[in-house]
A and B are shown apart, each in its own frame.
Chain A
Amino acid sequence: MHLSLKTQKKLMPLLFLIPGLLFFAIFQIYPLLKGFQMSFLDWQIMPGRVSEFIGLDNYTRAFKDVVFGRAFKNTLIYTLVTVPGQMMIAMVVAILINSLPKGKTFFRALYYIPVITSWVIVSLLIRYFFQSPNGIVNYFLVEIFHLAASPLPWLRDPTLAFVPILVLGIWKGIGWSMVIYLAALAGVPKELDEASAIDGANGWQNFWHITMPLISPTIVFTMVMLLIGGFNVFISVYLITGGGPRQMTEVMLSYAYHQAFDFLDFGYGAALSYLMAALIITLSFLQIKLLRKPQEIY
């Protein structure tokens, strides 16, 4: 087959693009559009039955739904606790490891192990640690540190049950931010530290006035990534508490998932997902705005 050079030139990009675009269109774009449509329907899961158009009913229902309100609040708490928690601990660890004359790679690898371990495994581990009454956490609280008189009923208590989820969220994420902070710290010129030390600055002043401004774009970057990750909390909740007891630890995604796959209310689940998507897209655009700024300054 001989095609003219011009046709060939036009056809080439298409040949490269086709496989990727097919996947993109079928498995990404179509579900997003279908989900949007579902969110306006009283979706019938049995094939052949007609799903009625109910307008914004699924959305208005969400705003009146007490459990969804709680799921939103829990998601917010999770994000507001785990994001600063991860960032601060990761920064301290990164500064510490960066100051070691030898063995940086070794320590970096150790702190990174929770990050590469799957959510299923760490969730089960946390559940084991927070068992009651004879779990390891209870053992340390009662027998070693004497912080509690008797074992705490971690996973059975509506307020306490969220604690293991928060602990897991912080612990698993530290290594990720740490690796990024270490890379940023490695980029801070040594001469600047030395110069400020000669000028009589102490370690804290040095960090606050020299290091911080230089790595602030990195800090903003991790913050936004972690915020989005925080809103996405799901597997840990699903596996550690299942949203319980009495739906008290439900987060947005676990609630949407339960609506769809336990109560088979696909339309409502889709609407909840879309509310969540709106939140995340807003956050992402804020990121783009925030991230551009520091780059223009430096």
Chain B
Amino acid sequence: MYRRKKNFNTIIRYLLATAGAVLMIFPFLFMVSNAFKANVYVIEYPPKLIPDNPSIENFISAWTSNNFQLYFLNSALVALVATVGTVLFAAFTAYAFARFEFKGKEILFGLMLIVLMIPDMISIIPRFYLARSLDLRNSLWGLILFYIASGITGNTFFLRGFFESLPKELEEAMTIDGANPFEIFFRLAIPLSKPALATVGIFSFLGNWDEYVWALTIIDKPAKRTLPIAIYSFQGQHGTEWGLVFAAMIIALIPVLIIFISLQRYFAGGITSGAFKG
């Protein structure tokens, strides 16, 4: 009797969890379904989840039209370079805070924490002014440099904690063997910190890949657009061609999903540490 009740409870729980999950991914189901409908069917009413004549026409026209491949490339380039820069410079800075003593160390770190509290949006107007003064408007470098800068603060905070948790003994042994701090950093600290660096790298990449506001603010030239900007203007140009817009969105989502699915173990750790927000 008790067992049966327990089994029944478990089934109910699975049903509830599934219903909730369907609700959560419901908009994505429509996105995928509509992307496979040739445009005429998309404004159909009542809406249909299963397309009658599924076709990949939308994907082909999205991929081949409006410089889409160039935008994809721009996004990939910006996200990759900015991620490498963020990981490298944040690791350097964090290691200095974790392992060296210098004047004003904690004051400097405190200043970084205060800046970290202030959202990037607060300074978007003066940052635009700075980008214009440095001639970084309409340039991918204008994106890369600012992305690295906004990435460094939070990741320095995260990586300092990680470096401090590494055992000091190994580094001391290397010092006795005559290694200088750079050798210790690259040959010991970096290899030991792979999981932490991977977490930083993943979150930086996703953040850079999806970044919209800064790109919107400093990029006017169509040739320098990144995917988020391109997708949005796509929707403007092809007002009712939602199938095309959805196909473009799915193409932009593919790298994100690949990273998410293949590197899932780094996600939970990164989020629960509190340093990263999706």
Do A and B bind? Answer: yes
Interface 9-residue window, one of B54-62, B164-172, B190-198, B228-236: B228-236
Query: Which chain A residue shows the least CB distance to B259?
Result: A116
Q: Which of A119-143 contact B (CB under 8 A)?
A: 119-122, 124-126, 128-129, 134, 136, 139, 143
Mostly, the B contact residues are helix
Give Cα A284–Cα B261 distance, bound, in whole angstroms.
Answer: 33
Q: Which residues of A contact B117 (CB under 8 A)?
A: 280-281, 284
Which residues does A use to contact B, with CB under 8 Å? 8, 10, 12-17, 19-21, 23-24, 26-32, 34-35, 38, 93, 96-97, 99-101, 103, 105, 107-122, 124-126, 128-129, 134, 136, 139, 143, 171, 174-176, 179-180, 183, 221, 225, 228-229, 232, 234-235, 238-239, 253, 256-257, 260-261, 266, 269-270, 273-274, 276-277, 280-281, 284
Q: Which residues of B contact A284 (CB under 8 A)?
A: 117
Report if B179 contacts A (CB, 8 A).
no
30 cross-chain CB contacts under 8 A: A13-B96, A16-B93, A17-B92, A19-B89, A20-B156, A21-B108, A28-B115, A28-B150, A28-B153, A30-B126, A30-B130, A35-B123, A35-B126, A99-B13, A100-B10, A103-B14, A107-B17, A110-B24, A113-B28, A116-B260, A118-B210, A120-B212, A121-B253, A124-B245, A125-B27, A125-B30, A128-B242, A234-B121, A276-B122, A281-B118
Q: Which of B93-116 contact A (CB under 8 A)?
A: 93, 95-96, 100-102, 108, 112, 114-115
Contacts A21-B93, A28-B149, A38-B125; A136 near B100 (Cβ below 8 A): no
Give Cα A100–Cα B11 distance, bound, in whole angstroms.
Answer: 9
- B251-278 vs A, CB cutoff 8 Å, 1 = contact: the mask equals 0110011001100100110011010011
Q: Which residues of A contact B21 (CB under 8 A)?
A: 107, 110-111
Chain B's nearest CB lies how many Å from the CB of A246? 21
Report if B152 contacts A (CB, 8 A).
yes
**A221:B274 contact, CB within 8 angstroms:** yes
Contact of B125 among A35, A103, A117 (CB under 8 A): A35
Residue tally, chain B, CB below 8 Å to A: 83
**A124:B125 contact, CB within 8 angstroms:** no
Which residues does B use to contact A, with CB under 8 Å? 10, 13-14, 16-17, 20-21, 24-25, 27-28, 30-31, 43, 45-47, 88-90, 92-93, 95-96, 100-102, 108, 112, 114-115, 117-119, 121-130, 145-146, 148-150, 152-153, 156, 180-182, 185, 206, 209-210, 212-213, 217, 228, 231-232, 235, 242, 245, 249, 252-253, 256-257, 260-261, 264, 267-268, 271-272, 274, 277-278
Give Cα A32–Cα B114 distance, bound, in whole angstroms.
Answer: 12
Q: Which residues of B contact A27 (CB under 8 A)?
A: 127, 130, 145-146, 149-150
Q: Which residues of A contact B217 (CB under 8 A)?
A: 261
Query: Which chain B residue shows the least CB distance to A129?
Result: B27
Chain A's nearest CB lies how many Å from the CB of B44? 8
Contact of A34 among B96, B126, B148, B274 (CB under 8 A): B126
**A96:B20 contact, CB within 8 angstroms:** yes
Give Cα A289–Cα B28 distance, bound, in whole angstroms.
Answer: 40
Query: Which chain B residue shows the least CB distance to A136?
Result: B47
Contacts A107-B17, A124-B231, A125-B31; A118 near B212 (Cβ below 8 A): yes
Contact of A29 among B115, B148, B231 (CB under 8 A): B115
